Amino acid sequence: MATSRTKGQRVPAVPDILRKSLRRERIQVSPKRLAQYLQELRGARRVFPLDQERAMFVGLMEQWRKTKDAKTVVFISRMDNEESFPTTVSFGVLGSDWPGLSESCIGVLHQKGWNIVFAKGMVVEHKGQQLGVVIMAVEVRSAEEMKRLAKERERLAESLSKASIGSLAKAYLIAREGRRLETYSRVIEAIARQCSAEEREGLLGPKGEAVMFFASRPEEYVFERKTKDLVDQIITNYRFLKRVRETGGRPQVWIKSLKTVREHLTGITVAGYDREFSLNDCLEAIGHAVPGFKRKFNKEFTTDDGITMYRLEICNSQAQPFPREETDHIRRALLQMATSKKFQRAKWTEAPGGFEHYVRAIIPFLLKEFRISQIPQVYMSVATSTDFFLEFKIIIILSGDRTTQEKKIFRCVEALELASGLTVLSTKPPRIMGTEGINIIDLRADLDRFSDRQGVYETIEEQLGRVIGQFRDFDEGMRIMETKKLSQVREHFRRTREVLVREFYYQLEDFYRVSASVEELAQQIRMGIRTIRRLARSDTPFVIEGKNAQMGRGAGMSTATLVCIAFDPQIPGFTGCLSTLSSYETTMSRVEREEATVLLLKLAKEGAALDAAGLRQLLRELRKSLTVCIMGID
Pairing of strands 87-96, 72-76: antiparallel
Task: Output the pLDDT for position 241.
Answer: 95
Find out whether 95 and 101 touch, Cβ atoms under 8 Å. Answer: yes
Question: What is the Cα–Cα distance from 454 to 460, expressed in whole angstroms?
Answer: 10
pLDDT of 350 above 50: no
pLDDT of 572 above 70: no
Find out whether 180 and 103 touch, Cβ atoms under 8 Å. Answer: no
What DSSP line would sit under 52-68, residue for residue? Answer: HHHHHHHHHHHHHHHST
Phi-psi map region of 631: left, alpha, beta (phi>0 left; psi -120 to 50 alpha): alpha
Place 351 in a pLDDT band, splitting at 50, 70 and 90: very low
Mean pLDDT, to the nearest integer, of 344-352? Answer: 43
Task: Output the pLDDT for position 482.
Answer: 80
Place 476 in a pLDDT band, splitting at 50, 70 and 90: low
Q: Measuring CA to CA, how many Å separate 394 from each of 250, 379, 417?
A: 19, 6, 14
pLDDT of 12 above 70: no
Mean pLDDT, to the nearest integer, of 380-392? Answer: 77
In sequence order, the 6+-apart residues with CB closer than 8 A to the CB of 66 are none
What percent of the chain shows pLDDT beyond 90? 35
Task: Output the pLDDT for position 360.
Answer: 58
Task: Output the pLDDT for position 49.
Answer: 87
Mean pLDDT, to the nearest integer, of 56-82? Answer: 85
Task: Output the pLDDT for position 168.
Answer: 52
- Least confident stretch, 25-39, 131-145, 495-509, 543-557: 543-557
Question: What is the Cα–Cα distance from 474 to 451, expressed in whole angstroms?
Answer: 25
pLDDT of 575 above 60: no
Q: What is the pLDDT of residues 80-122, one digit of tens each?
A: 766 788 889 999 999 886 677 787 788 888 878 888 889 998 8
Pairing of strands 377-385, 472-473: parallel
Task: Output the pLDDT for position 135.
Answer: 93
Mean pLDDT, to the nearest integer, of 125-153? Answer: 89
Place 354 in a pLDDT band, splitting at 50, 70 and 90: very low
Task: Output the pLDDT for position 352.
Answer: 39
Task: Output the pLDDT for position 334.
Answer: 94
Q: What is the pLDDT of residues 576-620, one digit of tens each?
A: 567 778 788 888 888 888 888 899 999 888 878 899 999 999 999
Task: Output the pLDDT for position 545.
Answer: 93
Burial class (CB in 10 A: 0-12, 13-18, 19+), 594: exposed
Find out whether 79 and 146 touch, Cβ atoms under 8 Å. Answer: yes
**How much is the mean pLDDT over the chain?**
84
Question: What is the Cα–Cα distance from 198 to 559, expressed in whole angstroms?
Answer: 51
Q: What is the pLDDT of residues 203-222, one digit of tens each?
A: 998 889 998 998 888 888 99
Place 526 in a pLDDT band, splitting at 50, 70 and 90: very high
Task: Output the pLDDT for position 254.
Answer: 97
What percent of the chain shows pLDDT beyond 70? 88
Task: Output the pLDDT for position 177.
Answer: 63
Read off the DSSP letter of residue 349.
-
Place 178 in a pLDDT band, splitting at 50, 70 and 90: low
